[in-house]
Structure 1
Amino acid sequence: MPQSRWSCPELAAELTARGITETVSASTVRRWLREDALKPWQYRSWIFIRDPNFRAKAQPVLDLYARTFKGVPLSKDEYVVSSDEKTSVQARCRCHPTLAPGRARAMRVNHEYGRGGALAYLAAYDVHQAKVFSRCEPKTGIVPFMALVEQVMTQEPYAGAKRVFWVVDNGSSHRGQRAADRLTGRFPKAIMAHTPVHASWTNQIKIFFSVVQRKVIRPNDFPDLPQVRDRLRAFEDRYNATAQPFQWRFTTSDLHDVLARLDQHITDRQESSF
């Protein structure tokens, strides 16, 4: 069929054209679909695990969230920091003024806009203290990321900490063993923990970025980049004044259960193909 999605009137017409039913209304088709157990127009995207070391990488990160490392509980002067970059935060100046909401009317934001440039928003989140540190840079890279590390590691309690674990994904600014060596070489008490490839959801800073996207950037209506920076800084101050740690519930036990079910699913498919 040429269509992947059908409207109820189209389905009603198709049923009649194929002789499956006599004339039927779109509302009847809508009722049938609502009552049916199968809803083929709904879908969920997913990604298959591609990192051969998924378990070995994910487990230390999840253990750190539970305040353990290599089976030993973290002490009070050990910290876990989740960090990443939010790229291309744009300043979009709307061609016509945004109209404030009114009675029975939503805010109206003009579709057309002028581009006022873009910046990179780098942030580090102490997952147990619920404290955010951030900076705005023209672009991402090793130098901007290490500037963020410097910003955090040169202030207390991190400067005097026993160890500070940095959870990062596999972006080019902090990828691989060279990045881990660079971090420890600059700050011997800092230890880098990489999330598995294509598993940024295990990095708690992504939750904070989703909050920023909803509460700060949307709707994107900024005349210039300085206003974007000011809004981000103001939100960080407000967030740090009231924030509570995220209620992270995905544990290493959950990880083992998921991977076991996946292994069983793969085994079942292989056996059924013979």
Structure 2
Amino acid sequence: MSPPANAVVFCVDEKSQCQALDRSQPVLPMTPGRPERQTHDYFRHGTTSLFAALNVKTGEVFGRCRRRHRAQDFLSFLRQLDAAVEREPGTEIHLVLDNYAAHKTAAVKRWFARHPDYRLHFTPTGASWLNQVERFFAELTNKRLRRGVFRSVPQLERAIRDYVDGHNADAKPFVWTADADLILRRVEAVCNETSNSGH
């Protein structure tokens, strides 16, 4: 919430298992007095995962689709992100991540050890909503994927890329509507629940 001066902060996460779904019947649009209607059954043509990094300062999203969701795919995404980030020498890059196992493998730790300008911040278990990129995923789902019809994975990936490009054309930073004290109290409550749950 208060990054160091001249630092770049990215909220990073994956939206895994995005499904290329095709309804068995066309979606019927809303008409006066009738809601939109769609069939309950569908054809599934495969899945993709979106790896995304949201720049906290600008609101821009760096996103890449991958067919798999493994540690090596996360590493590939990190390499692409590192190559794409424009920065002055010595600029720190802060990444906000969740506690997904792929973010903590030995290969990922080695990569970060070779890139000492990266600083990692993990959200508490059960509080991934703190990661601002989750808001972008919600918008992507609501505005592009939920009612979409995709007859192939490449068609789905093209729709995701187009949405990311459209978002970046008019990017705005995410603004918390709750004050910092309320957010920190919620995080503390989640941490207390987790530590007292016996897990």
TM-score by length of 2: 0.83
Match of 1:109 among 24, 38, 49: 38
**Distance in 1 separating the partners of 2:165 and 2:44:** 27
Q: Offset of 1:165 from its aligned partner?
A: 0.6
Q: Offset of 1:242 from its aligned partner?
A: 1.1
Question: What is the letter of the counterpart of residue 57 of structure 2?
Answer: H
Judged with a 3 Å threshold, the aligned counterparts in structure 2 of structure 1 residues 251 and 193 are, in CA distance, closer, same or farther, namely farther
Match of 1:167 among 91, 96, 116: 96
Question: Rg bigger for which structure?
Answer: 1
| Deviations 1:23-57, CA, capped at 9 Å, x for gaps | xxxxxxxxxxxxxxxxxxxxxxxxxxxxxxxxxxx
Structure 2 counterparts to residues 145-156 of structure 1, below 5 A: 145-156=74-85
Matched-pair contact (CA < 8 Å) for 1:170–1:194 = yes
Partner in structure 2 of residue 75 of structure 1: 5
* RMSD between aligned residues: 2.5
Q: Offset of 1:159 from its aligned partner?
A: 7.3
**Distance in 2 separating the partners of 1:159 and 1:143:** 28
Q: Offset of 1:148 from its aligned partner?
A: 1.5
Which consecutive unaligned segments of at least 5 residues does structure 1 have? 1-64, 68-73, 264-274
Question: What is the letter of the counterpart of residue 100 of structure 2?
Answer: G
- Identity in percent: 29
TM-score by length of 1: 0.62
Q: Offset of 1:171 from its aligned partner?
A: 0.6
Bigger mean CA deviation after superposition, 156-165 or 140-149? 156-165
2:53 pairs with 1:131: no
Judged with a 3 Å threshold, the aligned counterparts in structure 2 of structure 1 residues 156 and 118 are, in CA distance, closer, same or farther, namely closer
Match of 1:229 among 137, 157, 165: 157
SS at match of 2:84: coil
Matched-pair contact (CA < 8 Å) for 2:75–2:108 = no
2:25 pairs with 1:66: no
Q: How many residues align?
A: 190
Which consecutive unaligned segments of at least 5 residues does structure 2 have? 193-199
Q: Bigger relative contact order, structure 1 or 2, given CA contacts below 8 A and separation 6+?
A: 2
Partner in structure 2 of residue 54 of structure 1: none
Judged with a 3 Å threshold, the aligned counterparts in structure 2 of structure 1 residues 180 and 119 are, in CA distance, closer, same or farther, namely closer
Partner in structure 2 of residue 44 of structure 1: none
